[in-house]
Amino acid sequence: MNKVLIIGAGGVSNVVVHKCASLPEVFGEIVLASRTKSKCDTIAQGVKQRLNRDIITEALNADNVQETVALIKKHQPKLVINVALPYQDLAIMDACLETGVDYLDTANYEPKDEAKFEYKWQWAYQDKFKNAGLMALLGSGFDPGVTNIFCAYAQKHLFDEIHYVDIVDCNGGDHGKAFATNFNPEINIREITARGRYWENGNWESTDPLSVNQDFDFPGVGTRKMYLMYHEELESLCQNLKGLKRIRFWMTFGQEYLTHLRVMQNIGITRIDEVEYKGQKIVPIEFLKALLPDPGSLAENYTGKTSIGCVIEGLKDGKKVRKFIYNICDHAETYKEVGSQAISYTTGVPAMIGAKMILTGKWKQAGVYNIEQLDPDPFMDDLNKYGLPWHIEEWSSSVK
């Protein structure tokens, strides 16, 4: 019987637990752990009501490697699914190595004291996992994750060479709040306020934060203004796509959101360094996180859809080809199914599918892998089966 340990109890975790619980033939037993056990209990209660499955819950400080080691030894899972904070990736990977358990996450490591995320820290674990005969699957969310799989599928079936990729991400939903983030506010704001970066002709180019934008007609949503950002999947895809000349990432933001963000930056509440307040050290962005709505609380009244995909251009049989591979996900429908909004759903479903790939042996190789390095076909099939159907359109014109 396959047992998994899921670490983290936010909106994505809620989706992962529900989706794993819906497949008892793959996920025979599920343990859910987080620093706040009451959050785990709430998720477990929802799963019990919807699916009549029992979930074991535990309290865990995942920053503490030995505490995680002790929990893994207690339950002896075959796989650890990390949907906690990116700061905790390396500590959880260390615990998996010490206990001989496979590892999966949805976002790459990020040091807490610097708004910088890249794969070098996790790629450095390659030999450790390979020598231990263990697998670490990185970035099994949507972006990164499904977007990587779309590119891998395109490389395998649709193109002989891929020259240009634009990953485009739109949340066309409305949660009714003046300002809120769709996942952990601290991580979200650090990501958005960073300098933009893209890869072209073997070099990284950078831009001022959100300074480059263009309009894009998103299926299911309509035309929205999207902004060039840096996103972690660019770092691995630029190494794993043959013949690539340029890859960029774009995300949409409404003007009200950007206005709020600019004001918060101007007054310093998005700072990640410590300040002294009444004799105590506080980090402004952590205080802001406490003031903003919990992303999980947005789900009930969320309307609209997400529309995320990859615009890919290259050569097939000597001819120039341009295709758009994408998914549309409805906030209201995901709430009906698992009690979460679509941002959490689009990340949580691929995490479950990645775990299923490992546990069923379809993806089982020793070492550290980004998701596009593996066979995309079974993953693409499961996206259609488990709630994230994809579509392909053939285009003739280029994105600027």
What CATH number does the domain containing 260 carry? 3.30.360.10
Q: Are strands 56-59 and 29-34 parallel, antiparallel or unpaired?
A: parallel
- Residue 72 maps to which CATH number? 3.40.50.720
Domain contains 348: no
168 and 250 fall within a common domain: yes
The first and second tokens of residue 90, run together, are 């390396």
Name which of 268, 130, 135 is nearest 189 in CA terms: 268
Domain contains 78: yes
Domain end, chosen from 75, 108, 138, is at: 138
210 and 334 fall within a common domain: yes
Domain contains 344: no
Residue 386, classed as helix, strand or coil, is coil
Name which of 326, 311, 323 is nearest 400 in CA terms: 311
184 and 236 fall within a common domain: yes
188 and 270 fall within a common domain: yes
The first and second tokens of residue 137, run together, are 């699957």
CB 235 within 8 A of CB 258: no
CB 110 within 8 A of CB 235: no
70 and 189 fall within a common domain: no
58 and 200 fall within a common domain: no
Domain contains 241: yes
pLDDT of residue 178: 67
pLDDT of residue 196: 92
Q: Distance (Å, rounded) from C-alpha 103 to C-alpha 81? A: 6
129 and 246 fall within a common domain: no
The H or E element containing residue 328 is strand 319-330
Overall domain count for the chain = 2
64 and 167 fall within a common domain: no
116 and 164 fall within a common domain: no
pTM for this structure? Answer: 0.92
226 and 276 fall within a common domain: yes
Domain end, chosen from 138, 162, 195, is at: 138
The first and second tokens of residue 371, run together, are 């998701």
Provide the domain limits for residue 206.
146-339+390-395
> Which residues of the chain carry a pLDDT beneath 50?
399-400
Phi/psi for 6 (5° steps) reads: -105, 125
Name which of 291, 286, 263, 292 is nearest 274 in CA terms: 286
Residue 242, classed as helix, strand or coil, is coil
pLDDT of residue 400: 45
Domain contains 182: yes
174 and 264 fall within a common domain: yes
Domain contains 85: yes
Domain contains 114: yes
Domain end, chosen from 121, 138, 155, is at: 138
Name which of 173, 147, 192, 226 is nearest 341 in CA terms: 173
Name which of 138, 318, 309, 159 is nearest 232 in CA terms: 138
Phi/psi for 335 (5° steps) reads: -65, -40
pLDDT of residue 123: 98
179 and 219 fall within a common domain: yes
Domain contains 400: no
